[in-house]
A and B are shown apart, each in its own frame.
Chain A
Amino acid sequence: MRRRWQRWAIPAAVLPVLALLAYGFWTNPREIPSPLLGRAAAPFALTTFDRVPLTLEDLRGKIVLLNFWASWCIPACYDEAPALERTWQAYKDKGVMVVGVNVQDTEEPARTFLARFGHSFPNAPDPKGHIAVDYGVYGVPETFFIDRRGRVRFKHVGALTDEAARQRLDSLLEEPS
């Protein structure tokens, strides 16, 4: 005859396994730091949807918020689009440049997207995806923050929020130029 307490060993044995699985919620398997952080940002030369040439070299001395997006990227790119425009409006006079790079997309829906959100900062297609590859873009949206000296300082994966953009831009603005 089994002792009374012994029988409860079976349900009790489940607890550590459940605890381990619950622990998984506090970890993030995709939290792999970008090897680009702190390194010089890869140069790019784009032509915006308004047919204006734009290179990273031109922006030297400015803080650059480089956002990779696509019109099919639902809902994350749609979620962050208004925040991007607000950030641009708030920071454009403080030496910050917001640049959108449209990747893996076709022109017509991309233009529809820009018109819908009234984006007034420069946006350019990356038809061959070279820039996305140079920046190690894994999925859209991803946003890179480049400091005045042209180094990648932060990477934001997923939809950008006003708060997240403000935090990073403010910390970069505080640095002596």
Chain B
Amino acid sequence: MIPELGYAATVVGFVLALYGAMAAVIGVRTGRADWLRTGERAAVGIWILITACIALMLYAFLTFDFSVRYVAMNTNRGTPFYYRITALWGALEGSIVLWAWMLSIYTLIVVVRYRRRQPELYPWVLSVMLGILAFFLLVMSVPAPPFERLSPIPPDGRGLNPLLEDSGMITHPVALYLGFTGFSVPFAFAMAALLVGRTGDEWITITRRWTIVAWYFLSLGLLIGGWWSYHVLGWGGYWAWDPVENAAFMPWLTGTAFLHSVMIQERRRMLKLWNLTLIILTFGLTLFGTFLTRSGIIGSVHSFTQGSIGVFFLAFLALILLGAFSLLAWRTDHLRAQGELDSAVSRESVFLLNNLFLIAATFTVFFGTVFPLLSEAARGVKVSVGAPFFNLVNIPIFLALLFLMGVGPLIAWRRASAENLKRNFLKPVLAGIVAAAVLRLFGVGNVLVLTAMALVVFVAGTITLDYGRAVRARRRSGDEWGAATWGLLLRQNRRYGGFVVHLGILVIALGVAGSQAWSLQTETTLEKGQSVELAGYRVRFDGLSASEESNHFKVTGAFTMTTGRSSFAELRPARKFYPQEQTPIAAVDYRLGWVEDVYLVLGDFARDGSRATVKLQVNRLVSWLWIGGLVLTLGAALAILPDHRKPA
């Protein structure tokens, strides 16, 4: 019963989306508001239908309805309760449902917020949003039906991918998809602006907060993904330049470029064409990510056949890119800049450089990701590029971006005077140099790390300097300390929200540089009672125990960790054997710390518990990645608050 109901809801939703997209256009072309209203009702109907799909799916998961193929593929009777809920987005079909659902929510918010406020752009925005929804409902109907019936009904399901049985997997996809889908709103406004011919700053002003929301969720999704990778995958890292990661990183890079370049358009009426290009690229890359990871064109060890979904995504990607860029070409005459670049030493040019580097990073990531395809097309050989390529090319780019992050917010618009430069940058530059010199004295020899640390200190210096000045100015005009410091954050929330986000990025950069440069690891086989030592930690192997869990068999190692100061802790890394998996899954045990994490992975072991191979890592400064993520969250929240400078 559930497959039929769900399938019916999907198909009706698809028809409604197509109808609504057309009705909105007819409404605006004929000037008949009733058409537009039916388009809005269609949007409401779609939301109800997709919500019903999700409810049906959840019901099927919770009742182990294995007549639904997707349920049988992603749960079995042993799957714990919470993961039966998150199994909903544990594989392709369900994640498309989640995506469509979020899109339908965003569409509803657009309807509620803008139907009266933006009578000119709104019908087109609605039409574009419903058009995108139609695509996702089409995917749910044909190439990736979540409600496909399974016959004969198996006695038990296959079970969720064990790697996804983790709390990170509850939030990671949700955040990531809120980010991906969030970019469809600025994209829809950009398209509406092009169609109507109002290519001024209007669409940018309207969508500023939308863009920050989308960017924020995408950042959060990437960070939680890194955290998941770090504490689940058991290789001690958080980023591997895997195609899946790259796919989510590319729209983040172009989205970041877009967030910055719109400021130039707002301020100087420049870069109209560029901003439109960036939002089209960003939205296109969110689709490309799904295409890349789900079409099977780039080798990924994760799943078997993917069916025809790749063809659908590529066709839609082609439609979006060709359609949007043709629209752009058609309107080129509207897009000439009204301002000009006055000087190479100005905020405009720093922002332009920032964009240039972000696009260069996007390009290298794109190039590296599709390289296996390129090399096969050109030379007939399958070759992949790995982390060394990405690091080699991207590290200098990111260092340059860090530098610009210090310069951009403080340098003057139009033309910076020598006085302006000296006033804002002399002290921070000195602080950076001193920091590098001190680190050098303490024996840090790696040039990249020294540069990164110097830049972090430099940028932190510029932020402190500027904020300190602003606080003192408020104090002089009579504010209390509290009002001066916190009030300033709220009063100029957009500027200082951005600063706080920058601080978060700095903290993340600190974590990345530190963990790359100073982490240690060792791998060894221990007899019972033997110890391994690394960086002052002594880890003793005390034995193994086995247990039968609801859906897997688990072998747990007992280890005692002592440090020089004789404090000790029990570490319990394990290996989990799932019947449906060929290789056991490692369960890492770790102790997080401000400066370093101790990270222990259980490898092979003797069945009688006398011997075990372990990998012990001391990972430095990794915690700062997650702390930086929290700081970034605060900054983004601040920036999303309504702009106090000019009432919206």
Residues of A near any B CB (own CB < 8 A): 2, 7-8, 10-11, 14-15, 18, 20-25, 27, 29-30, 70-76, 78, 104-106, 109, 112, 116, 129, 132, 137-139, 158
Asked whether B166 is an interface residue with its Cβ less than 8 Å from the other chain, the reply is no
CB within 8 Å for A74 and B322 given contacts A21-B297, A25-B311: no
The complex places the Cα of A49 from the Cα of B263 at a distance, in Å, of 71
Closest A residue, CB atoms, query B581: A104
CB within 8 Å for A74 and B304 given contacts A21-B373, A27-B297: no
The complex places the Cα of A21 from the Cα of B373 at a distance, in Å, of 8
8 A Cβ contacts from B83-134 to A: none
Asked whether B474 is an interface residue with its Cβ less than 8 Å from the other chain, the reply is no
B73 touches A74 (CB 8 A): yes
The complex places the Cα of A23 from the Cα of B157 at a distance, in Å, of 35
A104 touches B582 (CB 8 A): yes
The complex places the Cα of A112 from the Cα of B154 at a distance, in Å, of 9
B154 touches A24 (CB 8 A): no
Kindly identify which residue among A22, A75, A104, A116 contacts B69, using a CB–CB cutoff of 8 Å. A75
A109 touches B150 (CB 8 A): no
Additional A-B contact list (7), CB under 8 Å, known A78-B152, A158-B304: A18-B317, A18-B318, A21-B314, A24-B297, A74-B73, A74-B150, A104-B582
A15 — which chain B residues lie within 8 A by C-beta?
322
Cβ distance A97 to chain B, nearest Cβ, rounded Å: 25
Q: Give 19 A-B contacts (CB < 8 Å), ordered by A residue.
A: A11-B325, A14-B322, A21-B291, A21-B297, A25-B295, A29-B296, A29-B298, A29-B300, A30-B299, A71-B154, A71-B155, A72-B154, A72-B158, A73-B158, A78-B154, A104-B581, A112-B155, A116-B152, A138-B582
B311 — which chain A residues lie within 8 A by C-beta?
25
Kindly identify which residue among A7, A29, A30 contacts B372, using a CB–CB cutoff of 8 Å. A29
The segment out of B214-222, B326-334, B638-646 that lies at the interface is B326-334
Asked whether B376 is an interface residue with its Cβ less than 8 Å from the other chain, the reply is yes
A29 touches B159 (CB 8 A): no
Asked whether B567 is an interface residue with its Cβ less than 8 Å from the other chain, the reply is no
8 A Cβ contacts from B135-157 to A: 150, 152, 154-157
Residues of B near any A CB (own CB < 8 A): 69, 72-73, 76, 150, 152, 154-159, 277, 291, 295-300, 304-305, 310-311, 314, 317-318, 321-322, 325-326, 328-330, 332, 370, 372-374, 376-377, 382, 579-582
Closest A residue, CB atoms, query B303: A139
The complex places the Cα of A30 from the Cα of B579 at a distance, in Å, of 24
Kindly identify which residue among A2, A14, A27, A129 contacts B321, using a CB–CB cutoff of 8 Å. A14
A75 — which chain B residues lie within 8 A by C-beta?
69, 150
Closest A residue, CB atoms, query B295: A24
B318 — which chain A residues lie within 8 A by C-beta?
14, 18
B332 — which chain A residues lie within 8 A by C-beta?
2, 7
Closest B residue, CB atoms, query A14: B321
